[in-house]
Structure 1
Amino acid sequence: MAEPSPGVGLLDAPVRAFVAQLTDVLATLRGGGTVDRGALERDAALEAQAVAAGIIASDGHPSDAELRSFAVALSPWFESLRSAAPSSLRDSPAIKQHRGFPITPSPLFETIVTADAKSKTAHAWRYYDAAMRVAHAVCAVDATPTREELLAVDTLRSMMLRRIGAADIERPADSGRDPGEKGEPEKTETLEDLLAELDELVGLKAVKTEVRLLINLVRVENMRRDRKLAVADRSLHLVFLGNPGTGKTTVARLMSRFYKVLKVVSKGHLFETDRSGMVAGYVGQTAPKVNKACDDAKGGVLFIDEAYALVTESEQDFGAEAVATLLKRMEDDRDDLIVIVAGYTEPMQKFIESNPGIKSRFNKQIEFPDYSDDELIAIFESIGEDAHYTLDAGAKKAVKAWFAAQPRDATFGNGRTARNLFEDCVTRQASRVVDLKNPTDKQLTTLTKADVPDPASKE
């Protein structure tokens, strides 16, 4: 049976909440005394209209359901929308003129941020939270949002966070909670905490975008499930492609936590394994090893590094049995087990194509590029900061030269190479300062050019 007007109504509550929140903010910014709340509410409604229209217009093909939802949600403030048909709205200024809204801070948002920076308040975060709820609600109207819509949501989020960050506005403890929540905020990890952690990773720009798009999609699908609306049958298992040390395991750990917060899995832990943890050398031993790995990972994410090694051309190999057992467990535990497979790009592509069951379950691939020299220096400095070491100017220049001289072949370790170099530098620094008489704290914690090995050295 076809679903009548799918998703129409999903936008109502987020728009009402946005208007209410923003009206309160504007009233506060106007100071005490008499304020025309009706006029402020209309300003807030105009802003809600712009947020919603910016997402709806992003793909250039607004659906009838999106336009109906838009009209119904905004009609309490705009009488002309009460009888507006999708055909008349589709090319109207109410929609088309806001297509670029997610890109640049609006005048009203800019006013709020400026006031926060001056008064040390945090009203911009209230705007941010309410606007993101509206944006996700727009994407939830249709059974499957377009990639352009999800990108528009990500662009809107990034734009607001950049502006808030530039103004150094501290996030309040209760930010991100639903307006109706009562009591003290729980001391639990939030989606915004994890997104901030993702943003802070060095490099990986395209990877971060793909992860955020996936998170937005899961959030949207959760909204539809909560309303008992149809949701596409989608696999959330992932393939991570790339060379060693490019952040695949780090992002996999983050994904396990993302999936817990999003209620995809119950525990959110990461269990790491490889061929040696799944394939045995004798008949009857492989399936139990795979089942043990899946049992350990259940409730979280099973991360299989160098997964292509599971399948070999040898007839005496039990890798095929491991894959068959894994696929069965993925089906049996589909409600509480996510599998991420990782490895070099070309062998992983062959692995995915080797079995129709693998290909059908792993249909989302994310490519992890090698780090640039500047990104490797940033990783080196981050490792040093965690260990309470700093680099002087000479050391930083020498480290950059060292990275630039390394051949980028299959043996290059990217982030692992940066860590190995840091440990080598610390060892060299210790040998240098041990003979100093009464070294200062700065001398003990500063790496200099003398501590960085010669790029041509084979030591």
Structure 2
Amino acid sequence: MAEAFHDKASDFIGAITEILDELSGGADHRAECVIEASNLVAAFIDADGRHTADELSTWVSSIGTRLTPPMIVTPATLRSDDTFGGRKEWLEQPSTLFDLLVKADSNDTGRRANRYYALALDLAHATAALDLMPSPAEVTAIDRYRTMLLTSMDQHGVPRPGQPDAPAPATKAGATAGAEPAPVPEVELPPERPIEELLAELDALIGLDHVKEEVRRLTSLLRIQELRAERDLPTIDTSKHLVFSGNPGTGKTTVARLLSQIFRSLGVVTSGHLVETDRSGLVAGFVGQTATQTRKVLDSAIGGTLLIDEAYALARGGENDFGLEAVDTIVKFMEDHRDDLSVVAAGYPTEMQELIDSNPGLKSRFTRTIHFPDYDTDELVGIFGLIAGGKEYHLDESGTAALQAVIDAEPRGRGFGNGRFVRNVFEAAVGHHALRLAELGDDELTDEMLSTLTGDDIHPVD
């Protein structure tokens, strides 16, 4: 792994040196870039406070020897002197060098900060990959460092990696209700997309902060294991099977689709498509048919992700129910195709936990649960705005106030529709808007009137 780390360190130092040399008109900034790499790596080594011998010896051979003067010492000396103690604080704010690049990009619409970001994260993942299994503290540090760099770009009006030069509109989560599943879904393979473009789309989703963090953590774990695999080093199997728990309309399908494409970009699945199904798509009505039906759906998902909505319904019919046959088929298929298939089981939190606990095969394969919380009022207003904007409508001040009141009055218990709820409110509002304007003549209507939803148009939905 030391060789891979050395390559990432060289890439960082070389590329950032070229960028700084160009900015300064030809001066040599290599020594400054070596210090920048040293600070970055030392901070990630200190992230969990362990300072292992492999981490320290690799730092000395790949970076310490490049410093001026060279720092050639043993890991024991570094540890006894507590050389890296407290260095993790370096990750808490943009470095002077990164701040310089961001401000330069802000002035001339360059992409230097994007380049630094990509190289720095590569080096961070390579540092974490020096251990067989990165610690939770290291993975969390990578995610927080990434967020800090992106926030700095946002503050200076610099597009994030994966965004076009003009920042793309925010993507809504949970605003589109899923279509009725076909018995055997048609698979349309999406084009492969860069990992940073997918993460940028994830970041742009409304709300879901904890969900985003969990997806980014899983992404980092897979990237680190991929680095080790490339060097024929031992790896830890990281499961691609997940439980998504939460009420309807909280973005589970949106995140599952992005996650499958992230898996493809990382090379852990081949196609990156999403197949959606539920009990009705897996369970047949006669003895012997369910296993065949379930395998057809599973076959269509190979290379991507199978999202099973309301998965707990598979175990709700008792011992003689055909749903249990579907569960057994799924468990075997997950084992047989674990290298090229991700399965996401979604549903209400309590019922999903009962389902996983009911079957040892499921419990051993679904080791990671991500909970999708209900959206708050402001987030739902934002989702409404995205839905409306997609149809060239917008709310005026009275419409916004009325919408907030309708959302606040809706019970937030089990089954609250979240994004689906506000979509229904929007569709009803369009109907009320049309009725209100029908009383006016065509010559009285303006484009603004035709596209503005007011408080009179917003009503509770039965």
Provide the residue aligned with 1:45 in structure 2: 34
Instruction: Name the CA distance, whole Å, in 2 between partners of 1:391 and 1:102.
Output: 41
- What residue in structure 1 maps to residue 25 of structure 2? 31
Counterpart contact for 2:377–2:408, Cα < 8 Å: yes
Deviation at 1:82, TM superposition (A): 5.5
> Which of 214, 220, 226 is residue 218 of structure 2 equivalent to?
214
1:65 paired to 2:54: yes
Amino acid at match of 2:211: V
- What is the distance in 2 between the residues matched to 1:173 and 1:401? 37
User: What is the Cα deviation at residue 101 of structure 1?
Assistant: 1.9
Of 91, 99, 112, the residue aligned with 2:88 is 99
In structure 2, the residue matched to 1:411 is 415
Deviation sequence 1:123-149 (CA, Å, 0-9, x none): 222211211111111111111111111
CA contact (8 A) 1:376 1:415 kept: yes
1:166-185 to 2 correspondences below 5 Å: 166-170=155-159
Structure 1 segment 76-115 matched on structure 2, within 5 A: 76-78=65-67, 83-90=72-79, 92=81, 94-115=83-104
Q: Which runs of 4+ in 1 moved over 6 A?
A: 171-175
Question: What 5-or-longer segments of structure 1 have no aligned partner?
Answer: 1-6, 176-186
Aligned residue number for residue 21 of structure 1: 15
Letter in 1 for 2:454: T
| Corresponding residue of 1:230 | 234
State the Cα deviation string for residues 94-130 of structure 1 (Å, max 9, x = none).
Answer: 5224211222011121122222222333222221121
Give the equivalent residue in structure 2 for 1:452: 458
Moved more, 265-274 or 435-444: 435-444
Aligned residues: 434
The counterpart of 2:282, out of the listed 272, 275, 278, is: 278
Q: 1:114 to 1:79 in 2, by over 3 A?
A: closer
CA distance in 2, matches of 1:81, 1:116: 33
Q: CA deviation at 1:168?
A: 2.0
Separation in structure 2 between the aligned mates of residue 62 and residue 55 of structure 1, nearest angstrom: 10
Aligned residue type for 1:29: L
Q: What one-letter code is carried by the residue in structure 2 that aligns with 1:448?
A: T
Partner in structure 1 of residue 448 of structure 2:
442
How many Å separate the matches in 1 of 2:403 and 2:81?
56
CA distance in 1, matches of 2:109, 2:288: 66
- Tell me the CA shift for residue 25 of structure 1: 1.7
Q: Percent identity?
A: 43
Work out whether 1:126 is the aligned partner of 2:130. Answer: no
SS in 2 for 1:234: coil
SS of 1:96's equivalent in the other structure is: coil
Please list every run of 5 or more consecutive structure 2 residues that lacks an aligned counterpart in the other structure: 165-190
Q: 2:309 & 2:162 partners in 1: Cα distance?
A: 37
Q: Distance in 2 between matches of 1:352 and 1:384?
A: 38
SS of the residue corresponding to residue 58 of structure 1 reads coil
Picking from 156, 161, 164, the partner of 2:153 is 164
Instruction: Name the aligned partner's letter for residue 324 of structure 1.
Output: D
Offset at 1:79?
6.7
Aligned counterparts of 1:174 and 1:413: Cα–Cα separation in 2: 30
Matches within 5 A, 1:8-407: 8-31=2-25, 35=27, 37=28, 40-78=29-67, 83-90=72-79, 92=81, 94-170=83-159, 188-312=192-316, 314-407=318-411
Counterpart-to-counterpart distance in 2, 1:347 and 1:399: 32
Q: Give deviations 1:145-200, integer Å, cap 9, x for gaps.
A: 1111111111111111111222223468999xxxxxxxxxxx85100110000001
* Cα distance, 1:103–1:172 mapped onto 2, change above 3 Å: closer
Write the deviation string for residues 359-406 of structure 1: whole angstroms up to 9, x where unpaired. Answer: 000001101111111111111111111111111011011101110011
Instruction: Return the offset for 1:91.
Output: 6.0
Contact 1:8-1:68 at 8 Å conserved across structures: no
TM-score normalised to structure 2 length: 0.90
Normalising by the residue count of structure 1, what TM-score does the alignment of the two structures yield?
A: 0.90
